[in-house]
Amino acid sequence: AQTVTQSQPEMSVQEAETVTLSCTYDTSESDYYLFWYKQPPSRQMILVIRQEAYKQQNATENRFSVNFQKAAKSFSLKISDSQLGDAAMYFCASSGANDMRFGAGTRLTVKP
């Protein structure tokens, strides 16, 4: 079974600044994927970024990038040039062949 831990229940960032959200995971799967999902106040879950574990290159999507450290089982999300619309709950998730796990989430506040 997999476990996903997000150690920061809440984070805040000033608009236009950069913030990093932490995530660690544990898995016995040899092939797995990692995700960051965003859940705004509307509660609609939105995929932010995805990382295949077999790829060494860190995934990027516009202002969002990850720092994937496979040996350390760490998968942090960096948000650059933060915008007010980035305010949301962020969930880290890990999936393998037969299992998908979510962390407890980090609530991100963006200050104008």
Residues that bind other proteins (CB under 8 A): 4, 6, 9, 31-33, 35, 37, 42-47, 50, 91, 93, 95-105
Q: Which of 9, 34, 39 is nearest to 21 (CA)?
A: 9
Q: Is 19 helix (H, G, I), strand (E, B) or coil?
A: strand
Q: Partners of 101 in the beta sheet?
A: 94
Looking at beta carbons only, is 16 or 93 nearer to other proteins?
A: 93
Looking at beta carbons only, is 43 or 112 nearer to other proteins?
A: 43
Smallest separation, CB 18 to other proteins (Å) = 24
Looking at beta carbons only, is 14 or 92 nearer to other proteins?
A: 92
Report the alpha-carbon distance of residue 32 to residue 39 in Å, rounded. Answer: 23
Q: Is 63 helix (H, G, I), strand (E, B) or coil?
A: coil
Smallest separation, CB 14 to other proteins (Å) = 26
Looking at beta carbons only, is 6 or 24 nearer to other proteins?
A: 6
End-to-end CA distance of the chain: 41
Smallest separation, CB 99 to other proteins (Å) = 6
Q: Which of 17, 24, 25 is nearest to 108 (CA)?
A: 17
